[in-house]
Amino acid sequence: MASCTIGKANRLKDFEDVLKQYEPMISANIRKLHIYRDFDQYRQIGRVALWQAWLRFEEEKGNFTPFAYRSIRGAMLDELKRESRFEENMIPTEDQMLTEWVEAKEEWLEPSNETLQLAIEALSLQERELLKWLFTERRTQAECACLAGVSVPAIKKRRERILLKMRGLLAVYKG
């Protein structure tokens, strides 16, 4: 039993050396994939992928470096795809006032909150239409993208800009 524990400790020590050597590769993949948030999450995904590659690697099949690179990059891409699928199908309900407005089930241009009504009227027709799709009709971002003839990332950016604009307008109208 003691020899097994010593073997695991040596193996872990060996991996710590590998991790030190390949940590720059993990950082490089984060930059190349244009990951601009959740750095620690992706760094950990890269470390786990490196650990798994290190355990699976067979020396007679070639060099470890390209194998490690593909494993790290593949794990990060898989996570990006998972996040993207989740965000595309997520129904946004961030803004509390907009959520209350939808739940009130009133005519979409006639919210009961006067401040909210003023803010909505200050939006362009295109912005109001996107709000209607997202909050009243509860369409996904992918559906909105089809309706608007743009990409899902474009809808995400528009949505965020509209919500930011709405927050600013609500702050002004509240006074």
Alpha carbons 144 and 147: distance in angstroms, whole number: 5
Per-residue pLDDT at 13: 65
5 CB neighbour count, 10 Å cutoff: 9
In the chain, the amino acid numbered 115 is T
Per-residue pLDDT at 24: 95
Question: Quick check: 149 and 138 in contact, CB under 8 A?
Answer: no
* Residue ranges matching CATH 1.10.10.10 in the chain: 96-174
Question: Quick check: 71 and 52 in contact, CB under 8 A?
Answer: yes
Whole-number CA gyration radius for the chain: 24
86 against 89, higher pLDDT: 86
pLDDT in tens, 101-120: 555 534 444 444 677 778 88
Per-residue pLDDT at 74: 95
Model confidence at 6, pLDDT cuts 50, 70, 90, reads very low
Torsion of CA 111, 117, 119, 123, to 10 degrees: 80
* Residue ranges matching CATH 1.10.1740.10 in the chain: 2-89
Range in 40-44, 88-92, 118-122, 137-141 with the lowest mean pLDDT: 88-92
Mean pLDDT, the chain, integer = 80
Selected from 3.30.40.10, 3.10.350.10, 1.10.10.10, 3.30.70.270, the CATH number assigned to the domain covering 96-174 reads 1.10.10.10
Burial 84-95 (b: 16+ CB within 10 A, else e): eeeebeeebeeb
pLDDT in tens, 32-84: 998 888 889 999 999 999 999 999 988 888 899 999 999 999 999 999 888 88
Question: In the CATH hierarchy, which top-level class contains the domain 2-89?
Answer: mainly alpha
pLDDT exceeds cutoff 80 at 17: yes
